[in-house]
């Protein structure tokens, strides 16, 4: 589990949403840009990058085309790192800066060149039309992308706050100039929701830095984006998956996922998220059904896989099978999760589930070993919730974990 803090969640998810149409976009550039986003959310990552580059070629003066290319490159990097489910974005702030592996140099260079050009073009629009809502939208979109990359790829959360605040201010101005531009509410709603969920001290710090809060208003802004057809409707739906998951509104999450599965039927990760949501809702049979279908898709899909994806699939289905008392199936899945390369938090949670199987069969020594390992892996990967669960289970055995927090 990533230690992505609250503002990183906003940067990471809002960044993907900033692909709206601009006043200078040629018809071909706009069509190619939309095609590129459809491809990336269908998990056709290489095709998406190629199409986004064509959009830039079609209209080199369209800031939206350059911004789209930057967004596609950023989404590729998140996929490569295995940041692919809501699990990565439902934690709390644990670190102002993260130690992350440097991205491929070519990707990083192309990202920065693309987003710098997008911002330069957008700022030129604002100088020409200082009261034009679309021009301000473009500026906020570009700096929002910068904040997303700085926080999620470079791991410099504090370093992203200046750009994040500017994105917030620019989109506040968009709505002030043109209240019909509901797509600006995606940035505003995401950041307002995140600020509302900070601790009191951090919330006041956010207010002092220029961010607003108000959870219910935030959700209304996001839902307006998600229900009204626009260039950012799909991205708003992805944000709402995380928001509703944090609020434990699982039926709302499933409604959003149903729409996304219909729109992107080749995106196997939507079945993974659907199964995970049913699991959180306490319906392991429904979870297993989604995960069975998704694992079949995973097995027959010869496209690139995310980092640790196999381990994640088997951990989720193994957890569902534990609840269904399918001991053989659960053991097979959880062992497969540990055998596959994966994130530490995924392996940690697989150990937790294997510990439950061991405890239920009376093997306290094996349970203790699994749960101790789960605490270690969870703390290492900033999965506080997973580590806490393993510690609670250990305490029932009268064992105090020795790993540092």
In this prediction, residue 65 has a pLDDT band, given cuts at 50, 70 and 90, of very high
Lowest mean pLDDT among 206-210, 227-231, 358-362: 206-210
The pLDDT tens digits of the residues spanning 283-325 come to 999 999 999 999 999 999 999 999 999 999 999 999 999 999 9
Q: What pTM was estimated for this model as a whole?
A: 0.87
The pLDDT tens digits of the residues spanning 186-200 come to 888 888 887 777 665
- List, in sequence order, every residue forming a beta bridge with 97; answer none if it has no partner: 156
What average pLDDT does range 118-135 have in this prediction? 97
Contact of 170 with 143, CB cutoff 8 Å? yes
State what percent of residues in the chain have pLDDT above 70: 86
pLDDT of the residue at 404: 45
pLDDT of the residue at 205: 62
pLDDT of the residue at 6: 37
Contact of 137 with 163, CB cutoff 8 Å? no
229: left (phi over 0), alpha (psi -120 to 50) or beta: beta
366 versus 7: which is more confidently predicted?
A: 366
User: Which tokens in the block code for residue 15?
Assistant: 């960044």
Map tokens 């709390």 to a residue: 92
pLDDT at 4 over 70: no
Mean pLDDT of the chain: 87
């Amino acid at each position: 589990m990533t230690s992505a803090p609250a503002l990183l969640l906003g940067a990471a998810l809002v960044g993907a949403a900033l692909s709206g149409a601009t006043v200078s976009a040629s018809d071909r550039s706009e069509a190619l840009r939309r095609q590129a986003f459809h491809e990336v959310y269908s998990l056709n990552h290489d095709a998406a990058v190629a199409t986004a580059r064509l959009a830039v070629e079609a209209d080199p003066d369209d800031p939206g085309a350059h911004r789209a290319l930057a967004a596609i490159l950023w989404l590729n990097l998140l996929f490569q790192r295995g940041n692919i489910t809501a699990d990565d974005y439902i934690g709390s702030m644990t670190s102002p800066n993260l130690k992350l592996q440097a991205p491929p140099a070519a990707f990083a260079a192309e990202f920065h060149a693309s987003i710098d050009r997008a911002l330069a073009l957008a700022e030129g629009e604002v100088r020409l039309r200082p009261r034009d809502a679309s021009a301000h939208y473009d500026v906020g979109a570009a700096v929002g992308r910068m904040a997303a990359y700085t926080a999620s790829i470079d791991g410099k959360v504090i370093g992203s706050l200046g750009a994040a605040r500017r994105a917030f201010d620019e989109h506040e101005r968009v709505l002030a100039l043109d209240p019909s531009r509901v797509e600006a509410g995606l940035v505003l709603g995401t950041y307002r929701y995140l600020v509302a969920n900070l601790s009191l001290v951090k919330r006041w710090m956010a207010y002092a830095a220029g961010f607003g809060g108000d959870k219910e208003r935030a959700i209304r802004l996001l839902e307006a984006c998600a229900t009204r057809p626009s260039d950012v409707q799909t991205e708003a739906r992805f944000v709402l998956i995380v928001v509703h998951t944090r609020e434990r509104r699982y039926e709302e999450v499933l409604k959003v996922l149903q729409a996304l599965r219909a729109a992107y039927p080749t995106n196997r990760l939507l079945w993974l998220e659907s199964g995970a949501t049913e699991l959180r809702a306490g319906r392991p049979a429904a979870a297993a059904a989604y995960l069975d279908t998704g694992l079949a898709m995973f097995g027959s899909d010869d496209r690139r896989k995310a980092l640790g994806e196999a381990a994640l699939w088997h951990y989720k289905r193994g957890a569902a099978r534990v609840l269904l008392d399918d001991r053989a199936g659960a053991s097979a899945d959880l062992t497969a999760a540990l055998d596959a390369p994966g994130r530490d938090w995924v392996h940690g949670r697989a150990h937790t589930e294997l510990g439950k199987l061991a405890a239920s069969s009376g093997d306290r020594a094996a349970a203790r070993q699994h749960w101790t390992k789960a605490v270690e892996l969870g703390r290492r990967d900033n999965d506080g919730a997973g580590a806490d669960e393993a510690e609670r289970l250990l305490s029932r055995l009268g064992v105090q974990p020795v790993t540092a927090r």
